[in-house]
Amino acid sequence: MTEVKAELVGNVWKIKTEPGAQVAEEDELLILESMKMEIPVTAPRAGTVKEVRVKEGEVVKEGQVLVVLE
């Protein structure tokens, strides 16, 4: 199981995956919006999305778990 965490504080702008989805390494899982930038969050490895722990528009903290892969 791999927890994908936010590397900086920001808004969840777009979620591009859902539980059950198969993802490859480097696939975009969601896009954060912070510091005037769209910041893609990608899968650190291939796997299945187990959970998406955030909603679009939600403010997340640095280090907060966004997606869980297995």
Partner 1 sequence: MGDDYATRVEDLRARRKKNLAMGGAEKVAKQHERGKLTVRERIDLFFDPGTFVELGLLAQNRDGSDTAPADGVVTGHGDVDGRQVWVIAYDFTVMAGSMGAVGEQFKAARVRELALRYRKPIVWLLDSAGARIQEASGSTFAGTGWLFAEQVYMSGVIPQVAAMLGPCAAGTAYIPGLADFVPMVKGTSSMALGGARLVKAATGEDVSDHDMGGSQVHCYESGVGDNEVESDADCIATVRRFLSYLPSSNTEAPPHTETGDPADRLVEGLDKIVPANPRAAYDVRKVIKAIFDHESWFEVKPTWAKNIVVGFARVAGHATGVVANQPMQKGGALDSDAADKAARFIRMCDAFNVPLVYLMDVPGFMVGSQVEKDGIIRHGAKMLYATSEATVPKVTIVMRKAYGAGYYVMCGKGYEPDTIVAWPFAEISVMGPEGAVNIIFNKQVESSDNPEATRAQLIETIRSQINPYLAAGWAMIDDVIDPAETRRVIVKTIEQSRDKKIDRPWRKHGNIPV
Report, in Å, the least distance between residue 11 CB and partner 1. 12
With CA atoms as reference, report the closest residue to 44 among 31, 29, 65, 56: 29
Nearest distance in Å: CB 9, partner 1: 5
Closest CB to partner 1 among residues 6, 54: 6
**Nearer residue to partner 1 within complex by CB, 1 or 35:** 35
CB atoms within 10 A of CB 18: 8
Contacting positions for partner 1 (CB under 8 A): 7-9, 33-40, 61-62
* Closest separation in Å from C-beta 41 to partner 1: 11
Specify which residues 23 forms β-bridges with: 47
Let me know: does 29 contact 41? Beta carbons within 8 Å.
yes
